[in-house]
Structure 1
């Protein structure tokens, strides 16, 4: 069985890590990564000896690429195609009438939020993308909430499988950064937020919450790890709230696993998530988290003893959770981090994650669905 995984190729965050960790765990002779743009994702795949193919587009809406994909499927004897992300999903819907093999897609994010902040064009893309999702033969939902979201979109229950993300907990960071490398001391309370600077991640909420928390915690610092279109806007907000000396923009980094062990807490303020890899990475680093109540975070943080899930996504509620965490700094907060690690590591490994996906492939390969074109 050979599976072609298709993605735009411009992923740099959790989506990229999800796809690459899955492909790395599967038999490399049975998987191929197809992309429309070459970048860090392809580089990392090739470093892991994962076969890649570049389906070139003259521009993002160049539909001629579907003929390249179809030709490749026929020539290489692809048995299943697995798409990740809106662009790949929409293109496969156009190709589906010609397909004689099953099409699986993974829902990494809520499609209603994928084009947040893009106005009328975003609303159009959202409708087109939702229609594409309904056309797939099978959907993998990365949380139970996303399974319910698919049901709301009129995707049949028998076409949905809930599969949670996983990471390799046996891997240790190649190096560990020390606080002094960034000018911090052991007395500082460090909070890290790993997320691209886009509307759905709600960095404004994170900064406003931190500003409220900072009023009673002078030694606190917020480390923003990522990049994106809203960076300048967020820097101005920090200046307005007078926390620009305590909020540090570290940019996009490949060494998140090496950075997290030096912080006290991680923060996630997203409006929508599936099963956030950043929380898995936080657990691997023995660092507890404060997060909004999104996706499957309750599966990783089942009670207050493992971290904080904020039901009301308001700056006051998040600042209150940050204050509770700061009061535990010393021995109690690290102990919570170890408990978080022990709970998550036994349930959400890459091996378990890949095995679930393989079971779906085996089922579709042995009992392929009747090929139909949903409108």
Structure 2
């Protein structure tokens, strides 16, 4: 088979679910058969890793900044100059302009990939519906990270579900000495119930719910440390809420971290009360680390390894049910069982890579 050149459209080259997924896939791809390049809108910490693997990255201004016509012209020029066999857009219903440029450039394989099941920032349903329809119209193949994400973006059109993978080789079990050192750095005391959350400070992640939980746990005399990992526009608002609820000694803001897989191993429970998630790769990472997670019932079930580590709860139900789940001790899950479940569900990076590359043939 001749070498296939694929251009991926990703929001950023910084750490995040979509970028991490595509980097893991690119790492496992047979580079004598497939070559990946990228268009992105923000330069981030994956930039060097991607370029070191021989990929080009074309950075574009947001469409809202340069206008759709200028964006289409720029993408069209890239496609014509580089002669790609496929364009794979990971921006969901926003993909219409990329896919239109690809269609005009004569790219035979145009992949529309949905990673979310809600358009939180869109109040105009007419425009949203039009964007989705035009994106689907200009695509030749439809992919979603979960059933819900596909139904949201593609309506009743047939699509393929290809879940986000987990790269098992990236998981390094912390030694007792490493755990002791990290706990000392984070001021975790013996007897603390260590809770963690990883996600940007944006409305959908529902950080205010976590602070309410922390306040109730403190009222009940339960010694907790809640670590919030990430950054974002609502961070200062949540810091203010922490002060108002008088839980400063219980809640720590860790900012942007690159050692997520190590931090996860310090947590007794991982909390994800999101209003929605397209897939929730961090839940897969938590399970691989053997950490029990308590999550909102709206989240996709495709991420559940069915080994008893995920506990789904209603956000609109009694908060006491969340507290009960937090304080309940979990049975330790054997690491081999976790690895076997990853393989059985086909969520390992090698299997997902083969599925995705088959789309380009």
Aligned-residue offset at 1:23:
2.0
Which ranges in structure 1 are unaligned for 5 or more consecutive residues?
A: 363-375
Q: Distance in 1 between matches of 2:273 and 2:56?
A: 34
Q: 1:366 maps to which residue?
A: none
CA displacement, residues 101-155 of structure 1 (integer Å, 9 cap, x when unaligned): 2210211112423x26xxx5x768745642443232222111122233245x34x
Aligned-residue offset at 1:2:
1.2
Q: 2:283 maps to which residue?
A: 279
Q: Distance in 2 between matches of 1:313 and 1:299?
A: 19
Question: What does 1:298-337 align with in structure 2 at a 5 Å threshold?
Answer: 299-300=303-304, 302=306, 305-310=308-313, 312-314=314-316, 316-317=318-319, 319-328=320-329, 332-335=330-333
**Which structure would you say has the larger RCO, counting Cα contacts within 8 Å and 6 or more residues apart?**
1
Q: 2:146 aligns with which of 129, 143, 146?
A: 143
Aligned-residue offset at 1:6:
1.2
Is the aligned partner of 1:102 residue 2:109?
yes
Q: Distance in 2 between matches of 1:338 and 1:207?
A: 35
Q: Distance in 1 between matches of 2:198 and 2:215?
A: 18
Q: Distance in 2 between matches of 1:242 and 1:337?
A: 38
* Contact residue 229 and residue 253 of structure 2 kept, 8 A: yes
Is the aligned partner of 1:172 residue 2:164?
no
Aligned-residue offset at 1:43:
3.2
* Contact residue 287 and residue 337 of structure 1 kept, 8 A: no
Q: 2:48 maps to which residue?
A: 43
Q: 1:181 maps to which residue?
A: 185
Q: 1:210 to 1:338 in 2, by over 3 A?
A: farther
Q: Distance in 1 between matches of 2:334 and 2:39?
A: 41
Q: 1:17 to 1:67 in 2, by over 3 A?
A: same
Aligned-residue offset at 1:55:
4.0
Aligned length: 346
* CA-based RMSD: 2.8
Q: 1:340 to 1:75 in 2, by over 3 A?
A: same
Q: Distance in 2 between matches of 1:337 and 1:210?
A: 30
* Contact residue 266 and residue 290 of structure 1 kept, 8 A: yes
Q: 1:18 aligns with which of 21, 44, 66?
A: 21
Aligned-residue offset at 1:167:
1.1
Q: 1:370 maps to which residue?
A: none
Q: Distance in 2 between matches of 1:296 and 1:124?
A: 26
Q: Distance in 2 between matches of 1:265 and 1:245?
A: 18
CA displacement, residues 243-293 of structure 1 (integer Å, 9 cap, x when unaligned): 222111100111101111111111111111122110111012111111112
Q: Distance in 1 between matches of 2:57 and 2:228?
A: 33
Q: 1:372 maps to which residue?
A: none
Q: Distance in 2 between matches of 1:50 and 1:333?
A: 44
SS in 2 for 1:66: helix
TM norm structure 2: 0.85
Q: 2:211 aligns with which of 195, 201, 207?
A: 207
Is the aligned partner of 1:240 residue 2:244?
yes
TM norm structure 1: 0.82
* Contact residue 274 and residue 294 of structure 1 kept, 8 A: no
Q: 1:309 to 1:140 in 2, by over 3 A?
A: same
Aligned-residue offset at 1:58:
8.0
SS in 2 for 1:334: coil
* Contact residue 51 and residue 57 of structure 2 kept, 8 A: no
Q: 1:266 aligns with which of 252, 264, 270?
A: 270
Aligned-residue offset at 1:15:
2.0
* Contact residue 307 and residue 340 of structure 1 kept, 8 A: no
Q: 2:91 maps to which residue?
A: 85
Aligned-residue offset at 1:41:
3.6
Is the aligned partner of 1:4 residue 2:20?
no
